[in-house]
A and B are shown apart, each in its own frame.
Chain A
Amino acid sequence: MSHGHEDHSSHIKEYWWVFAALMFFTGLTVAVWGWFDFGRPGFSAGDCVVGLLIACVKASLVGLIFMHLREERGLIYKILVFTFYFFAALMFLCLFALSDPIRPVFGLNL
C-alpha cells in the first residue's frame, strides 16, 4: 500500500466516519441489551444472533478500513483464509464434544 500525502489526508475524513459508525453500532448493541428482548425473557438466541451480527459488522469495519484489508496484497488474504479454516475447526471442536457428552453416572452427578 503506498499513498501520496493527499491520499492520506483524504482518508482522514473516512476514518472519522468509521469511528462514528462504530460508536453507532456500539450504542445499538447496548440498545439490543436494554430495550429489545427477542424471544423469552432475559437472554435468548435472538439476542445472541443480533449481538454477534452487530459485532461482526464492527469487526469488518475495523478490519477493512483501519487495518487496510480492503486494499491489501494477496498474501495477507491467503494467511487469513488459512486462519479462518483453523478458527472454524476450533469452533467445531466444541460442537463435536457436545454431540458426544459424558452422561451422568449413577450416584455421581457429572
Chain B
Amino acid sequence: MEIPYEVTPRRDTGLFNSKIGIWLFLASEVMLFGGLFSAYVFLRVGIHEGIDNPWPERVQEPLLGAVNTVVLIASSVFVVLAWVGLKMRQWRTFQIYMSLVIGCALTFLVIKTREYQTKMVEHHGINLKDGSVIECEILSDNAKDPIEKRRAGWPAGFAGLFGHANGDSTLKVRFLAESVTLSLDSASLLFMDYAEKGELWPAATVGDRKIDGKSQWEDWFFSAKRDILAKLSEARSLRRDYVQREVLGKSRKLDEVLLDKDLPAVNVETKVTIKFDKPLKFNVPGSSRTASHTESSLSFVDGTQLAGALAEGGDMIEVLVHGMDLQRLPISQQMSAKAWSLIVDEHQREAAKKVYKEEQDKVVAEIRKHYPEGKFPSVEEERHQLGSRRVNVLHIHLHDHADGEKHGESQEHAEPKKETGGEEKDPHAVSGGHSNNEFILARIPRSEVLYASNHGPWYNTYYAIYFTMTGLHGLHVLGGALVLGYMLVFGKKLYLKNPEHLANRVEVGGLFWHFVDLVWIFLFPIMYLM
C-alpha cells in the first residue's frame, strides 16, 4: 500500500505528512520539557529555609557544559548540511556530514557520562551537624596511602550509580568480629555478605564442631536449623495437643488452660554462638537500615549480633577534601566551623583557612558596596536580604590547580603528584609537610555527620532536577542519534529509489535534532552558569 503525501506536499497544507507529524510531536515535547523547566523555576524560587536554602549555584564545571554546547551546535549545522547534500543529490556529502552528526552525538554522550560518573563516584558531600559541609572524595580503606586508596575506589566505577561503589569505603563502619550469635529459627547467613572480600566463610568453632569454607558453614547451618525447627515443632505440637485436649475435650476456657502449670512450655534454645578462629573484618553501611553498632557489638536487623571491637578508625570517615561549603553558617561563624578541625594536618588546616578567609574578605567587601551607609547587615538581615546570593563565592575550592579548573571534574588535573622513589608511604604521610596544593586529608567521626552522600540525584533538590532534566535530554540525544544513524547506514537503498523521500526523512529527523539542541541551549545556562 502506498502512503500518500510522503514525498509530495498536500495541496491544502502545502506540507508532506511526516512534517506535520514531527511538528505536532515537537509541540508535545515542548510541553514535556516545559513542565520540567516550570518545576525547576518552582523549586528554585520556592526553596525552603533550612532545607535547600541556599540553592547550590554554579557548582558545575562550565567548561564541560560549554564544550557540549559547541558539540551540539556543530551537530545542528552538520545535520542541515547533510540534508542539503541529499537535496543536491550528493550522497557522499550526506554521508560525511551525517557521520559527523553521529560523532558529535557520541562525543556529547561520552562527556555527559563522564560528568555523571564524576558526581556519582568521585564527589561526595559530608553534611556535619553544625551546618558545615565538606566537599570531598570518600576514601577506600584497603590501600596503603590515601592516593592508592583513591584509586582503589575507582574500579567500582558505575557500581556507584547504584550506590555500591567502594565496597570497602570508609563511609562504612569497619568492625573486627570475634564471634557471631544468631537465632537459628529466624536468622540467615546473610551477615556474611558484609565480611571483607577474600575473608568469607573463615575457620570457626561452633560448640565443639569446627567449620571452614562455604560448604561446611552451610552444611552446619542448615542441619542445625533443621534440628532446631524440628525441636520447636515438637514442643509446639505438644502444647497444641494439650490445649486442644483441655478446651475441646473438657470444655475448659482457653484463658484458664493457658495458665495451667502442666501446660508444656516451648523452651528451645534457638540462639547459637560461633567463634571465629581469628577476628573477621566486616564493612557495614553506616545506616540503621542494615545494622547498628556500638564499640563492642554490631547488630543486624534480623537479630544477628557480632561481638568484637571497632577496627582502628572504624568509625571514622576518611576523605580527601575538595572544598568547604559553609554557606549555611553566618559569616561570623564560618571560620570556627567544625569542618576545619577535622583536617588532619595542622599546616594544611591553617593554609586552607587562610585561603578561605581571603575569599570571605572579598565577599564581605563586595557586600558592603551594596550597603551605601556602610552598615553591614546583622546575621538575620544577612540571611533575609542576601539569601542565596553569597553561595558560590564562599563555596571556594581549596584544591584549585594552576589550570584554574574546579576540583575533580577532570580526572587529569585531579590526579595527585606522584612521589618519586617508590617507597611505601605511611598512611598519614600525605598530611605531613605538603603544600596546600596537595591533597588535604580529613578524618570525620561518624557521630559528627548529619548525612553523607555522593552527588547523585538524592543529594539535594538541585541535583534531583539536574539529573532529571539532563538525563531526559541525554535520552533524546541517544534516540535522535539512533534514528539519524539508521538513515546513514540503511538509507542508500531508499536514496537510489527515491532520493527526495530520504531527504524528507532526514529533514524530519533533523527537526528533532535541532529541537534537542534548542533544549540544551536553555539547559546550559540554567544548570551550569546560574
Residues of A within 8 A of B (CB): 3, 5, 8-9, 11-12, 15-16, 18-19, 22-23, 26, 29-30, 32-34, 39-44, 47-48, 51-52, 54-55, 58-59, 62-63, 66-67, 73, 75-76, 79-80, 82-83, 86-87, 90-91, 93-94, 97-98, 101, 109-110
Interchain CB contact under 8 A, B77 and A40: no
User: In the complex, which residues of chain A have a beta carbon less than 8 angstroms from the beta carbon of B76?
Assistant: 62, 66
CB nearest neighbor in A for B31 = A86
Interface centre among A9, A23, A51, A76 (most CB of B within 10 A): A76
How many Å from the CB of A102 to the closest CB on chain B?
10
Interchain CB contact under 8 A, A76 and B23: yes
Given A16-B77, A98-B42; A90-B62 close (CB under 8 Å): no
- Please list the 3 inter-chain residue pairs (A to B) with the smallest Cβ-Cβ separation, ordered nearest first: A94-B42, A51-B525, A33-B529
How many Å from the CB of B81 to the closest CB on chain A?
6
A41 vs B521: C-alpha distance when bound (angstroms): 25
Interchain CB contact under 8 A, A15 and B390: no
Which B55-91 residues have a C-beta within 8 angstroms of A? Answer: 57-58, 62, 66, 69-70, 73-74, 76-77, 80-81, 84, 87-89
CB nearest neighbor in A for B392 = A42
Interchain CB contact under 8 A, A8 and B84: yes
Interchain CB contact under 8 A, B58 and A42: yes
Interchain CB contact under 8 A, A26 and B31: no
Q: Does B289 contact A (CB under 8 A)?
A: no
Interface string of B42-53 (1 = CB under 8 A from A): 100110111100
A84 vs B294: C-alpha distance when bound (angstroms): 60
A18 vs B39: C-alpha distance when bound (angstroms): 32
CB nearest neighbor in A for B55 = A43
A97 vs B46: C-alpha distance when bound (angstroms): 9
User: In the complex, which residues of chain A have a beta carbon less than 8 angstroms from the beta carbon of B88?
Assistant: 5, 8-9
A-B CB contacts (within 8 Å), total count: 160
Interchain CB contact under 8 A, B529 and A87: no
CB nearest neighbor in A for B362 = A41
User: In the complex, which residues of chain A have a beta carbon less than 8 angstroms from the beta carbon of B62?
Assistant: 30, 33-34
Interchain CB contact under 8 A, A98 and B77: no
Interchain CB contact under 8 A, B31 and A62: no
User: In the complex, which residues of chain A have a beta carbon less than 8 angstroms from the beta carbon of B366?
Assistant: 40-41
Interchain CB contact under 8 A, A30 and B34: no
* Residue from B58, B73, B528 in contact with A22 in the complex, judged by beta carbons closer than 8 Å: B73
Interface size class of B (residues with CB under 8 A): 35 or more
Given A41-B390, A44-B389, A59-B518; A29-B74 close (CB under 8 Å): no
Q: Does B24 contact A (CB under 8 A)?
A: yes
Interchain CB contact under 8 A, B13 and A75: yes
Given A51-B525, A58-B521, A62-B514; A30-B66 close (CB under 8 Å): yes
Interchain CB contact under 8 A, B517 and A43: no
How many Å from the CB of A83 to the closest CB on chain B?
4
How many Å from the CB of A97 to the closest CB on chain B?
6
Interface string of B505-530 (1 = CB under 8 A from A): 00000110011011001101110111
Given A19-B77, A48-B530, A93-B38; A43-B45 close (CB under 8 Å): no
* Residue from B15, B20, B529 in contact with A51 in the complex, judged by beta carbons closer than 8 Å: B529
A87 vs B70: C-alpha distance when bound (angstroms): 27
Interface centre among B19, B46, B529 (most CB of A within 10 A): B529
A35 vs B168: C-alpha distance when bound (angstroms): 43
Given A62-B514, A75-B13, A90-B34; A19-B73 close (CB under 8 Å): yes
Interface string of B126-139 (1 = CB under 8 A from A): 00000000000000
A48 vs B23: C-alpha distance when bound (angstroms): 29
Interchain CB contact under 8 A, A42 and B73: no
Interchain CB contact under 8 A, A40 and B367: yes
A75 vs B23: C-alpha distance when bound (angstroms): 10
User: In the complex, which residues of chain A have a beta carbon less than 8 angstroms from the beta carbon of B51?
Assistant: 109
**A3-B87, A109-B50 are known contacts; what are 11 more A-B pairs with Cβ within 8 Å?**
A12-B84, A16-B77, A30-B62, A33-B529, A40-B390, A42-B392, A52-B522, A55-B524, A66-B77, A75-B20, A91-B38
A102 vs B363: C-alpha distance when bound (angstroms): 33
How many Å from the CB of B90 to the closest CB on chain A?
10
Interchain CB contact under 8 A, B42 and A90: no
Given A12-B84, A94-B45, A98-B45; A47-B31 close (CB under 8 Å): no
Interchain CB contact under 8 A, A15 and B45: no
How many Å from the CB of B324 to the closest CB on chain A?
16
CB nearest neighbor in A for B522 = A55
How many Å from the CB of B519 to the closest CB on chain A?
9
Which B165-223 residues have a C-beta within 8 angstroms of A? Answer: none
Interchain CB contact under 8 A, B390 and A63: no
User: In the complex, which residues of chain B have a beta carbon less than 8 angstroms from the beta carbon of A26?
Assistant: 66, 69-70, 73, 524
User: In the complex, which residues of chain A have a beta carbon less than 8 angstroms from the beta carbon of B30?
Assistant: 83, 87
User: In the complex, which residues of chain A have a beta carbon less than 8 angstroms from the beta carbon of B526?
Assistant: 51-52
CB nearest neighbor in A for B528 = A33
Interface string of B1-28 (1 = CB under 8 A from A): 0000000000001110001100110010
